[in-house]
A = this chain, B = another copy of it.
Amino acid sequence: MNNTSFVIGGCRSGKSSHALALAEKIPGKRKTFIATCIPCDNEMKKRVKNHQAERSDKWTTVEAPVNLPEAIYEAGKNSDVVLADCLTLWISNLLLDPETSDKINQYIENLINVMKKISCNLIIVSNEVGAGIVPENELARSYRDLVGFANQKVAGAADKVTWTVAGIPVKIK
């Protein structure tokens, strides 16, 4: 039976490592990692490289900065587990592109539908971005709202939700 998990935590809270550990434990050799990240600067490229180095060679990597729901659905046809990391960068990509910025709710809806349809195990990673002070920047506030909304939707649809703090996974659903 397939199972959907959502892993959420602050920056450097160990969420990606925990999600990867969950995925590695799932039986089967067909593992797909879906990266939402467009590595556009050196800081980001380094981060991506570090994450890649953590994964075993069973993994196929797919980049889906925009069409995450479709990428998950397609990957699900031939995978034992799909790990999508992360929701936050996906929302950021959608928000910063004028072609997608006014259709974000529809994209989130599509993701929820894919979560229900998919027949392999799925793990989605996201960031908590709303537990600091209200940002002065209006775009940052919109982004914070959208990410929070997406996190709620995905957590609501997931079978299991884990909150990570300082590398410790805490099961909350």
Interfacial residues, chain A to chain B (CB-CB below 8 A): 6, 8-14, 43, 126, 128-138, 140-141, 143-145, 147-149, 151-156, 161, 163, 165-168, 170, 172-173
Contact = CB atoms under 8 A, between A and B. Distances in A.
A12 B155 CA distance: 13
Given A128-B131, A133-B140, A167 B145 contact: no
The oligomer's copy count stands at 3
Nearest to A152: B167
Contacts of A130: 9-13, 131-132
- Determine the main DSSP class of A at the interface with B: mixed
Given A129-B133, A133-B143, A166 B13 contact: no
A154 B161 CA distance: 24
Nearest to A143: B133
B144 A14 contact: no
Contacts of A153: 167
A12 B168 contact: no
27 contacts: A6-B166, A8-B166, A9-B130, A10-B148, A11-B131, A11-B144, A11-B145, A12-B145, A12-B152, A13-B131, A13-B152, A126-B166, A128-B166, A130-B131, A131-B131, A132-B132, A133-B143, A148-B166, A151-B167, A152-B166, A153-B167, A154-B166, A155-B165, A155-B167, A155-B168, A163-B166, A165-B172
